[in-house]
């Protein structure tokens, strides 16, 4: 909590000091995930839902080279409408700080800053993973290595279904990252509750997650935990339809030579267009759902 490049909002600092539950949130979804003002409205609603559950939200970002845990409403609005916000992963943090740049944090960089601040639970939409064709491209998200090394538990709706979910799970197993399902045996695939792949453990209650996280800490086992929370049934998209849409989007990305960090934004944008906005609404609802679970887990952890 004493990093000279880190600013913690007074609300978050007081909560951490007094042992109140705190939930970290990323800012890439604000700067790069959806159009203004929908992005800011969504971010503020997520914070409101966390507060309703009795926890304190800490939206994380980088402004003028300062790492911030607990962006203000004005700062979130700025991130939502400013065009020149960098997408920041682990490799980019030092450059952003050294050059006083503005950056929106991905899963990996949010985890890093959350750990610096002393926040142990982070709620997001979906994590990155192993991209399809990675056996030749080596395109693997930095999120996975961060989960192996950084002591933050990530609540999400699984890995994005544009990825190779089987290889993503294999990679997580190799890195020793537990994949914990909330009331599910099956890995959710972001827009849909189904994937055909199994999680490591089916956890029924938020306090069981808290006990798991605490026990792992006591054992001195390094790294985070991936907590997967299926999108609510009423917002889940048809598994076969979404796979067909993804295949179309991936084919177009290949034809246009899109690769690396540009791949995911392109694919998500194409999926939104093909589904006539249905995927965006599903995305928003699963983020709300994850924020609520994240707050419940953080609350149970504060009791231990």
User: Hey, what are 169's tokens?
Assistant: 């799970």
User: Hey, what are 114's tokens?
Assistant: 């959350």
Task: Quote the pLDDT of residue 42.
Answer: 97
Q: Quote the pTM value.
A: 0.93
Average pLDDT over residues 268-294: 86
The set of residues, in sequence order, having a beta carbon less than 8 Å from that of 232 and lying 6+ positions away, is: 285, 286, 289
Q: Is the pLDDT of residue 135 over 70?
A: yes
Q: pLDDT of 172-212, one tens digit each?
A: 999 999 999 999 999 999 989 999 999 999 999 999 999 99
- List the catalytic residues: 26, 160
- CATH code for 124-304? 3.40.1790.10
Burial class for 58, CB neighbours closer than 10 Å (0-12, 13-18, 19+)? buried
Task: Quote the pLDDT of residue 34.
Answer: 86
- CATH code for 1-119? 3.40.1790.10
Q: Is the pLDDT of residue 277 over 90?
A: no
Q: Is the pLDDT of residue 80 over 70?
A: yes
Q: For the chain, what is the mean pLDDT?
A: 93
Q: Is the pLDDT of residue 268 over 80?
A: no
Q: pLDDT of 91-101, one tens digit each?
A: 999 999 999 99
Q: Is the pLDDT of residue 260 over 70?
A: no
Higher-pLDDT residue of 148, 273 = 148
CATH 3.40.1790.10-classified regions of the chain: 1-119, 124-304
User: Hey, what are 67's tokens?
Assistant: 């790492």
């Amino acid at each position: 909590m004493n990093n000279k490049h880190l600013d913690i909002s007074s609300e978050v600092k007081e909560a951490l000091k007094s042992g109140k539950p705190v939930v970290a949130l990323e800012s890439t979804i604000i700067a790069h995930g959806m159009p203004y003002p929908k992005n800011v409205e969504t971010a503020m609603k997520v914070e409101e839902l966390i507060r309703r559950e009795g926890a304190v939200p800490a939206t994380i970002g980088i402004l003028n080279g300062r790492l911030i845990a607990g962006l203000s409403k004005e700062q979130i609005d700025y991130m939502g409408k400013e065009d020149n916000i960098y997408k920041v992963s682990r490799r980019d943090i030092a450059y952003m700080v050294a050059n006083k740049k503005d950056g929106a944090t991905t899963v990996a960089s949010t985890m890093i800053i959350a750990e610096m601040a002393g926040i142990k639970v982070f709620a997001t939409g979906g994590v990155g993973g192993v991209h399809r064709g990675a056996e030749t491209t080596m395109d693997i998200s930095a999120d996975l290595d961060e989960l192996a090394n950084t002591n933050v538990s990530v609540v999400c709706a699984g890995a994005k279904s544009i990825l190779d979910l089987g290889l993503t799970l294999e990679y997580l197993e190799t890195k020793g990252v537990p994949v914990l399902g909330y009331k599910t045996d099956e890995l959710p695939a972001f827009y849909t509750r189904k994937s055909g792949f199994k999680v490591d453990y089916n956890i029924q209650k938020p306090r069981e997650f808290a006990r798991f996280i605490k026990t792992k800490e006591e054992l001195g086992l390094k790294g985070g935990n991936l907590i997967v929370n299926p999108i609510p049934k009423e917002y889940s998209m048809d598994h076969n339809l979404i796979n067909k849409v993804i295949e179309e989007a991936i084919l177009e990305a290949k034809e246009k030579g899109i690769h690396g960090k540009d791949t995911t934004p392109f694919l998500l944008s194409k999926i939104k267009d093909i589904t006539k906005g249905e995927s965006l609404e599903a995305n928003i609802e699963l983020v709300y759902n994850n924020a609520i679970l994240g707050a419940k887990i953080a609350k149970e952890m504060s009791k231990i």
